[in-house]
Structures are given as C-alpha cells and as structure tokens.
Amino acid sequence: MLEALREELRLTALEMMKTGLAHDGEGNVSVRDWETGYIVVTPSGIPYEQRRTQDMVVMDVDGNVVWGERKPSWETPMHTYIFKHNPKVGAVMHTHSYYAMLMSIAGVDLPPTTMNIAATFGGPVPCCPYVRTGSAEAGRVALEMMGETGKAVLLGNHGTLAIGPDLPTVLRISKTVEEGAKLHYQAACMGVQPRPLPPDEVKWLYDLIQSFNEKAKAEEKAKVAARSHL
C-alpha cells in the first residue's frame, strides 16, 4: 500500500540522519497522500539505517493505523493534528539538529540574521513554549505560532518542526533552519549580538524568492499543459 510514497519517506528520513538533522532513531517525518488522504509516518524505535520500506506506517488523519505492523512515531499526534487542521500541508518534519536544538533550549527566536533565513521565512523563526512531547497540543501550539504563512518553528526545548507541500521542501526548510541557527550561534560566540537584516531588506528578499517560485510553478504548469496536447 502506497509503496512508492513509503520508499520516498524512508529515503527522506535517511537523508535527515546523513545530514545531521537527526541521530539514531530520533526525529520523525510524515507525508500526506493527496489521493487517499492517508498519512505515512516513520516508525518508532528503529535506527534510520535499519529501516525498510515496509516499516513505514500508513495512518488516517485521526491517527488510526490502516497499514503496517510497526509502531508509528511517538510524535504522531503532533503530525496528525497539523495535517487535520491545515489542509495545505503535505509533509511534516521534526528534527533534533544540534544548533536548532540549542536555540530551542535557550527559548529564543531565530532572527533573520542570514539572507537564507530572510528569503525563506520573511522574518524570524519563532520559538514555541515547551509542550509535552507526543501530544496533539504540540501541533496546535506550533500551528498557532507559525500563523497562516509560517513554515517552521523551534519547538521549546525540543528542536525544529517544519511543514510544507512535500518531502523535499520540508527537508530543505529544516536544513535552512539548522544552517541559520549555526551561523547565529557562532556569531554570538564572537562576543557580539548577531545583527538581523533590516526589515525592508527581509521583505524584499522574501518577496523576490516568492516571485521566483511562482514563476517556476507557472512555467512547469505550462510545460505540463503543452505535453498534454501533444
């Protein structure tokens, strides 16, 4: 059932581990199948390099297992809450990357001190208050902190949560948060307060990237339409 999507999820989770976003069996990721509405989520308690395609768990949006023998991630209630309450979300990724975890422990927002953070988020990545792990409440608080256009938050004392339309997007967002957090931390270690970009520059960078993305989508849509008429 949904074998191709389960394999894509397995490979994405493995990439999380290889790039340092998660370690051993920590962190979790899920993806929505747009045709059936089912959610595929990583399993609990299995190291990344030992996971097989058949270990990925298929669930409905209420968290009921519909396929698979493994126990789904402990954080599944957070994932399913987000899918249920934001119909535009196609994938959710929770990471334990080192520098983002540091900022989540400090309980501070990640400001737009790099062009990548500014262009990706259009402002700071907010840090949520601590919410008990494994709860739907964590999903509710994260969505509330993100607002309508948010893409990521720092979970209080608990790393990063990213949302997006697909798995490649949430992986890219998670990498961007970690890179920004690392640079922010290292700048602070120089004994100075890291300086965010000016607000008007943050808006300009964000709007610029959004326009590029919209143009790319329109071009791809035109290509698909042209192919359908061949």
d(CA 24, CA 74): 15
pLDDT bin (cut points 50, 70, 90) of residue 24 is confident
Percent of the chain with pLDDT over 70: 99
DSSP assigned state of 19? T
> CA-based angle 216:220:221, to the nearest 5?
115
The pLDDT assigned to 144 comes to 97
CA dist 64 to 23, 30, 39, 207, Å? 27, 14, 10, 40
The pLDDT assigned to 92 comes to 98
Query: Which amino acid does the sequence have at 80?
Result: T
Query: Which amino acid does the sequence have at 76?
Result: T
What CATH architecture does domain 3-196 belong to?
Answer: 3-Layer(aba) Sandwich (3.40)
Interacting residues of 161 by C-beta distance below 8 A, sequence separation 6+: 78, 92, 93, 94, 138, 142, 152, 153, 154, 155
Report the 10 Å Cβ neighbour count for 165: 13
Domain coordinates of the chain in residue numbers? 3-196, 198-230
> CA-based angle 218:122:158, to the nearest 5?
115
Computed on alpha carbons and rounded to an integer, the radius of gyration of the chain in Å comes to 18
**pLDDT tens digits for range 111-160:** 999 999 999 999 999 999 999 999 999 999 999 999 988 999 999 999 99
230 has pLDDT over 70: no
Model confidence pTM above 0.95: no
The pLDDT assigned to 221 comes to 77
